[in-house]
Amino acid sequence: MSRIGKLAIKLEPKVKASVASGAVAFEGPKGKMKVALPQQITADVKDGQIHVNRPDDTREARALHGLARSLLANAARGVASGWERKLDIRGVGFRAEVKGKQIHFSLGYSHPIVFNLPEGVTAEVDKVPRTEDSLPTIGLTLRSVDREALGETAVKIRALRPPEPYKGKGIKYADERVRRKEGKTGTA
């Protein structure tokens, strides 16, 4: 039995779940979400808990069992309290501004970058920049019900200007540690 797959998913009191035609639909205070189940996997909703089942012990069924349970647990938490990802934008003159469903970045290139947020993902920029290692740092917070869409958006934003190892300028995750390198020394 899969150690993850056999665990029941406890639903928050405000969250409702229903199983229909190979998918589980969630509804909660933060929004609605539907998760499709893999072909071999089934789910049952009983007494405020979701139980994920598999038909046999084949290698593929065991792998999908734990995966399906994790996806359902992420969706249940997402509609109950939502997901959040924080990014730090570090560098002199680096800016970000949220305008509707777009983020306008100034990242040291010769042109501004306009990033369109996907459906269901919201962004917020910290009002007051802070200073770390003499570089101004701006915080960017992304929020969503869908954990997968949130992570994908964070990766795309980080790829606009990845952190460089010498001064640490660029966009990084708030909990990411950038390995710093020592610059060249002028000894001859």
What DSSP string describes 138-161? EEEEEEES-HHHHHHHHHHHHHHS
Q: Report the length, in residues, of the chain.
A: 188
Specify the number of domains making up the chain: 2
Residue 61 and residue 95 in one domain: no
Residue 14 lies in a domain: yes
**pLDDT band, very low/low/confident/very high, at 130 (cuts 50, 70, 90):** confident
pLDDT at 188: 60
Residue 145 and residue 117 in one domain: yes
- Indicate whether this model's pTM tops 0.85: yes
Residue 107 lies in a domain: yes
Residue 74 and residue 88 in one domain: no
**pLDDT band, very low/low/confident/very high, at 184 (cuts 50, 70, 90):** confident
Residue 100 and residue 165 in one domain: yes
Domain that holds residue 60: 9-80
30 vs 102: CA distance, rounded Å? 21
Q: Indicate which CATH number applies to the domain containing 60.
A: 3.90.930.12
Residue 47 and residue 68 in one domain: yes
